[in-house]
Structure 1
Amino acid sequence: MKERPILFTGPMVRAILEGRKTVTRRAIKPPPDFLGSMADPTTPFKTLGAGLHGQIVCPYGQLGDRLWVRESWAADAQVDAVAPRDLSQGEPILYLADGGARQTGCSMITPGKARPSIHMPRWVSRILLEIVSVRVERLQDGDGETAFESRYIAEGINRIHHGDGEYYYHAFESEPGPGNWIDPFDAWRELWVSVNGVDSWATNPWVWVVEFKRLEVAHG
């Protein structure tokens, strides 16, 4: 069993904490030649299970491995000039996604500067995930197939009842209004584009599909 870091945005951190997000898709970079061309959706590698995918090893880990989440955070303003690697592990921490706090004896006086997720040390991380499945597929697999509804809801999109007997889907937390989608696939597309850009959607890349369960909230 290995542990690796993984980055998530604030909305996705909240989705994990609320139990709405149990899967993440990440583009395979660069895609090996043996996966087939963009125009060939029949390549058998897309249905392989956990482990070695042909000649590809998933950089996020395999079944049973763990991922510790890196997210945006802040320490006290009085240590703003201190690099993350030099902070005392007794420092109070503020998690910007939801305002959660880590305190181990010291209280935060004034929240300091926002620190990016990439600079989060292991001891600051409050979310630990265990990988339960890894597979390879094309990004747009399942478009228009209602049987695939749950797989995109599991990406952390919101299912909101609008009071008219209908449910709509949102890429982000929101009240009824602009951004409503009847098909969860459309909400998932909006979410992907917001993070990776329109071009990444249009090329329909091969992606790692990493399913996970949250083991613990270490702090907060």
Structure 2
Amino acid sequence: MKLRPIIFNTEMVRAILDGRKTQTRRPMKQQPEYRTNRGYVWHIHRKKTVEQLTHNGLFSKCPFGKTGDTLWVRETFRAWCVDGTDTIEDGYRHVRYKADGVERKTETIWDLDCNEGPFEAGLNEEPSKWIPSIHMPRWASRITLRITGVRVEKLQDISEKDAIAEGIEWDETHNGFRGQIRHRGMSTWHSRASEAFGFFWDTLNSKEGYRWKDNPWVWVVSFERIEK
């Protein structure tokens, strides 16, 4: 059983914390080609090919792991260090998470470690700048997920039930499913959860070949949150 990192944006972290998100879809980096009488084929390591990619079969290794593996979530955060006291030689790392504003104190550390890493941590006071999720180290992560299922499918094959499992929520005020990303100030509402998901997908995947209208093959990873 392996532990791997996975990135979620602020809106989806909120959905995980609320218990609304139990699935994530990620585009396959290598999209298969359809060949008559041979099914879907794509190349692996130049010379090898994998044929007959189907909804019920996996012939390629999922980069996020397999059922039973765990994922630690990377999210947008701030980090700073507080010096130790006369009785504690070490200092503490403090983390604040953008998704809900929660502050957490991590394990005791040596002061030297406060300045290590690909980001600038504050010393004795909280910095004003948010650190992108890609730079979150393992020690700062607060959410761990267990993979409960992995499959592949075409993006537009998503069901209404699965769109809701992706974190799409119903907005009573506007009588529709929310397709917006709040921190970007966009607001759209849709009659179907899958339509709202399609809008959300395009805000994250704008590259040609990976857009909703392109209908790419995607990894579908189902998960459950492991309570610490």
Measured against the shorter chain, the TM-score band is: 0.7 to 0.9
* Structure 1 residue 26 corresponds to structure 2 residue 26: yes
Displacement over 4 Å in runs of 4+: 104-108
Q: 2:98 is matched with which residue?
A: 96
CA positional deviation for 1:78: 8.4
* Structure 1 residue 36 corresponds to structure 2 residue 40: yes
Contact 1:2 1:65 in 2 (8 A): yes
Stretches of structure 2 that go unaligned for 5 or more consecutive residues are 42-50, 84-89, 109-122
Contact 1:168 1:180 in 2 (8 A): yes
Contact 1:157 1:172 in 2 (8 A): no
Aligned residue type for 1:114: W
Once the two structures are superposed, what CA deviation does each residue of 1:136-180 show, in whole Å capped at 9, x if it has no partner?
0001114xxxxx2111011111112238xxx41002477xx9511
Contact 2:95 2:106 in 1 (8 A): no
Q: 2:48 is matched with which residue?
A: none
Residues 45/36 of structure 1: CA separation in 2 closer, same or farther (3 Å cut):
closer
Q: C-alpha distance in 1, partners of 2:11/2:187?
A: 18
* Structure 1 residue 109 corresponds to structure 2 residue 125: yes
Could you say which structure has the larger radius of gyration? Answer: 2
| TM-score between both structures, scaled by the size of structure 1 | 0.76
Residues 105/211 of structure 1: CA separation in 2 closer, same or farther (3 Å cut):
closer
Q: How many residues align?
A: 190
Q: C-alpha distance in 2, partners of 1:116/1:58?
A: 25
Report which of the two has the higher share of strand: 2
Contact 2:24 2:220 in 1 (8 A): yes
Equivalent residues in 2 for 1:101-140, closer than 5 Å:
101-104=103-106, 109-140=125-156
Contact 2:81 2:94 in 1 (8 A): no
Aligned residue type for 1:131: I
Q: 2:225 is matched with which residue?
A: 214
Aligned residue type for 1:20: R
Q: C-alpha distance in 1, partners of 2:33/2:191?
A: 36
**Aligned sequence identity (%):** 42
Q: 1:46 is matched with which residue?
A: 54
Higher relative contact order (CA 8 A, sep 6+): 1
- Cα RMSD of the aligned pairs, angstroms, is 2.9
Stretches of structure 1 that go unaligned for 5 or more consecutive residues are 38-42, 80-87, 143-147
| TM-score between both structures, scaled by the size of structure 2 | 0.74
What secondary structure sits across from 2:150 in the alignment?
A: strand
| 2:195 paired residue among 176, 186, 197 | 186
